[in-house]
Amino acid sequence: MNKAIELKGLTKKFGNKTAVDHIDLDVNEGEIFGLLGVNGAGKTTTIRMLTGLSLPTEGNAKVLGLDLKSELDKIKMMVNVSTQETAIAGNLTVEENLKFIAGIYGVEASLFEERLEDIYTSLELGEVRDQRSKTLSGGWQRRLSIAMALITGPKLIFLDEPTLGLDVLARRELWRFVKKLKGKVTIVLTTHYLDEAEALCDTIAVMAKGHVLAVGTADELKRSVNKGTLEDAFVEIVGGEKK
């Protein structure tokens, strides 16, 4: 299987603090890959490096076969991100937001219309297409934020804590939409919700204190520490790091 991402000793230091410490990871094309960890584990910093928002202190990565350090501009054209906080233009309508981000990525008009219809169908945003985005509920705004990432036709999409701050119904709705994307686009999502990682991810990497402690499917992680639930397995894996 082709690799969408290959991390080789990727490291990020802020002064004396090491946020991400020499991590090696592979993400397969078309899968939903979860970075699971508590706050401060290094998940968001890893995504920031892979999206060009932050330069690695050491190590390197290949994203979609391109070198992160020397071919960032090409990578940016094929990758999109939905950030932790909802990143939308509040005074623009849903459709204007989508048109705006498509314009930034140079999406042709005919392709935009095609993708727009797909997104309206899959993310059910059609009913609020003319509504100012600041008037949408949190769940709808998050959905729009993901739609803005998808409208550019990325091969790889990063979802940073996509359900943070959403109520349980909105979370479940969003899970449904993310599952629909499986196989169409490679997704890397960060979360500290264990149920979310188990429900959505093909592969999960458990991170703590900037290290990757374990990688595998939810079942593989459970078996690796002989636990019945992902929560117990996570506590065991991360607890092992603390010891």
Partner 1 sequence: MRALVFTSRNIKELLRNPLSYIFCLGLPLVMLIVMTLINASIPKPEISAEAEAFIDTSAIKATTVFNIDKLTPGIAVFGMTFIMLFCCISVSSDRSSSFLTRLYASPMKSTDFIVGYTLPFAIIAAGQFIITYIAGEIISLIVNGESLNIGYMLLGLPLAVPSMILFIGIGIFFGTLLNDKAAPGICSVFITAAAILGGIWMDIEAMGDAWVTICSCLPFYHSVKYARCILAGDFGGMVLPLTVTAIFALVIFAASALLFAHKSKADK
Binding site for partner 1 (CB under 8 A): 14, 51-55, 73, 76-77, 79-92, 96, 100-101, 103-106, 132, 148
CB of 179 to partner 1, least distance (A): 23
**Between 73 and 243, whose beta carbon lies closer to partner 1?**
73
**Between 51 and 186, whose beta carbon lies closer to partner 1?**
51
DSSP codes of every residue in the chain? --EEEEEEEEEEEETTEEEEEEEEEEEETT-EEEEE-STTSSHHHHHHHHTTSS--SEEEEEETTEETTT-HHHHHHHEEEE-SS----TTSBHHHHHHHHHHHTT--HHHHHHHHHHHHHHS--GGGTTSBGGGS-HHHHHHHHHHHHHTT--SEEEEESTTTT--HHHHHHHHHHHHHHTTTSEEEEEES-HHHHHHH-SEEEEEETTEEEEEE-HHHHHHHTT-SSHHHHHHHHHHHHH-
CB of 233 to partner 1, least distance (A): 32
**Between 106 and 228, whose beta carbon lies closer to partner 1?**
106
**Between 66 and 92, whose beta carbon lies closer to partner 1?**
92
CB of 51 to partner 1, least distance (A): 4
CB of 170 to partner 1, least distance (A): 18
CB of 61 to partner 1, least distance (A): 15
**Between 81 and 197, whose beta carbon lies closer to partner 1?**
81
